[in-house]
Amino acid sequence: MARVAKNKNEKTTRFILYFFLVVAVFLTYLMSSNIIKSVYGNIKSTHWVQVNAKLLSASIKTTKGSSNSSSSTRYTYYAPQISYGYHFDGVNCIGRKVSWVESGDTGPLQELAYKYQSYYNAGKSIRVFVNPDKPCESVADRSIHWSKFITFGIMIFISVLFASGIAYILIKTSKK
């Protein structure tokens, strides 16, 4: 009887560990896709042509939230939202893509949002990078925003450590 209970507990424990392993791998995939998208977009756009574009609109998207249910720690993220028009290779296009990863923060993206808003208010033009093969595909800022890159990197590292620990426990228990 004690052996049956022990086997049932082992099965339950293994199920829970497998569940957490799958969750850790899924979260790692989600976070790494943002990093890969940012790096791939930057590499993809190295041969794109730089042109001047007229800002048609510029605003700052704010996202507010709290880090826990008691709402004692609040945060606000800022992200640029723009639309711009440009003429390239005989085609008039309107673009909205600011960077390769659309998100917000309180650092470089916040500065970029205020920069675009001030350019819009002053009636200045901005530079955009246009894909010569598809003239209406463009991006305003090709740079990698390291604050997001480092945050995702740390989260991926923690998820990989967590998944490795679970895999190690599963391997050790299966040998017994």
Entry pTM: 0.67
- CB within 8 Å of 8: residues ≥ 6 apart: none
Does residue 45 come out as left (phi exceeding 0), alpha (psi in the -120 to 50 range) or beta? alpha
Which residue is listed with tokens 């208010």?
121
Distance CA 49, CA 52 (A): 10
pLDDT of the chain, 176 residues: tens digit per residue: 455 656 777 777 778 878 887 887 787 787 777 777 777 888 888 899 999 999 999 888 888 776 666 656 677 788 889 999 999 988 999 999 988 777 777 777 888 888 999 898 888 999 999 999 999 999 998 876 666 667 777 877 887 787 778 778 777 777 65
pLDDT attached to residue 87: 93
Considering only CA atoms, which of 165, 166, 155 is closest in space to residue 28?
Answer: 155
pLDDT attached to residue 147: 64
pLDDT attached to residue 153: 75
pLDDT attached to residue 94: 94
